[in-house]
């Protein structure tokens, strides 16, 4: 029942995001494909645990599944586990749901499947996440002090702001169909973060890559097995075709 509620909350959050994604008319940026890059996925797992897991659960993922990323159980214990967690536990958030609802207006959604479920007309779920995590800006009018171009009026603050620094979106005004509209032009860096813009882009790419991997950890095995199955069926088709030709040749 608890897992069903988490998925329902995530779906509601996703639907809200889909309605808001038009925001200022921005398009989603193409996310880098890091699902085959083990060092990038390991870094993404570290970022997820350090910056996301305090509020967002990944209730359908166990820590020991991270061994598929080339990590040992000892490395998982030393670098990715909190004091009370065990390697076989699911990646549950430490936040109290009642406090989360009071602070943010809703319980933060579970992120296990967010990279698969958040796709839309603008691109894949990874594209959305990659854009979303890079389009935060300061907005004193909001309760959290932050807003987002990909998800206007978002209830989540920018948890990565120390890495990215603070930026301001720049807009140009133009007339369309007799109305003035604002068009996003780019960013102005207000204060630097602990990472350079390029380093931050790479870090977000690693995090999004991990979210993609977490949504389907068996995808590499599925693709590998699928290739062999198709090759086998192709070979079987050729053999069957030749046997059929040889059989009817004798009859005729």
Is the domain of 45 the same as that of 57? Answer: yes
Domain containing residue 86: 2-217
For the chain, where are the E strands, in sequence order?
Answer: 58-62, 90-91, 136-138, 146-148, 165-176, 179-192
Is the domain of 188 the same as that of 244? Answer: no
Dihedral of alpha carbons 138, 155, 213, 119, sign: negative
Query: Partners of 167 in the beta sheet?
Result: 189
Is the domain of 92 the same as that of 38? Answer: yes
Is the domain of 145 the same as that of 196? Answer: yes
Is the domain of 225 the same as that of 158? Answer: no
Is the domain of 163 the same as that of 230? Answer: no
Using DSSP bridges, classify how beta strands 179-192 and 136-138 pair: parallel, antiparallel or unpaired: unpaired
Is the domain of 70 the same as that of 125? Answer: yes
Transcribe 182-219 into DSSP letters: EEEEEEEEEEE-SS-HHHHHHHHHHHHHHHHHHH-TTH
Taking the model in full, what pTM does it have? 0.78
Is the domain of 126 the same as that of 229? Answer: no
Tell me what pLDDT residue 221 has.
Answer: 83
Is the domain of 244 the same as that of 151? Answer: no
Is the domain of 66 the same as that of 78? Answer: yes
pLDDT tens digits for the chain (252 residues)?
A: 444 333 343 444 433 443 333 344 588 999 999 999 999 999 999 999 999 998 999 999 999 999 999 999 999 998 898 767 789 999 988 888 888 888 877 888 999 999 998 888 889 999 999 999 999 999 999 988 999 999 999 989 999 999 999 999 998 888 877 788 888 888 999 999 999 999 999 999 999 999 999 999 988 788 889 999 999 999 999 999 998 888 888 776
Is the domain of 175 the same as that of 239? Answer: no
Number of separate domains in the chain: 2
């Amino acid at each position: 029942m608890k897992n069903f509620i988490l998925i329902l909350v995530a779906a509601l959050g996703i639907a809200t995001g889909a309605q808001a994604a038009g925001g200022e008319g921005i398009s989603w940026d193409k996310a880098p494909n890091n699902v085959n890059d083990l060092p990038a996925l390991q870094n993404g797992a570290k970022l997820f645990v350090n910056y996301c897991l305090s509020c967002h659960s990944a209730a359908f993922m166990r820590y020991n599944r991270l061994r598929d990323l080339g990590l040992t159980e000892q490395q998982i214990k030393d670098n990715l586990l909190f004091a009370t967690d065990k390697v076989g536990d699911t990646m549950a958030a430490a936040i109290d749901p009642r406090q989360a609802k009071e602070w943010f207006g809703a319980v933060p959604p579970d992120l296990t499947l967010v990279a698969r479920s958040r796709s839309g007309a603008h691109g894949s779920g990874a594209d959305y996440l990659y854009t979303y995590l890079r389009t935060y800006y300061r907005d004193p009018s909001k309760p959290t002090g932050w807003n987002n171009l990909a998800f206007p009026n978002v209830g989540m603050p920018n948890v990565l702001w120390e890495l990215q620094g603070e930026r301001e979106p720049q807009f140009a005004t133009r007339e369309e169909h007799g109305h003035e509209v604002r068009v996003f032009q780019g960013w102005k860096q207000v204060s630097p973060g602990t990472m350079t813009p390029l380093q931050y882009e790479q870090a977000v790419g690693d995090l999004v890559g991990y979210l993609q991997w977490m949504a389907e950890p068996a995808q590499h095995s599925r693709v590998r097995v699928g290739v062999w199955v198709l090759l086998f069926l192709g070979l079987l088709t050729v053999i069957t075709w030749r046997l059929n030709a040889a059989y009817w040749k004798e009859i005729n």
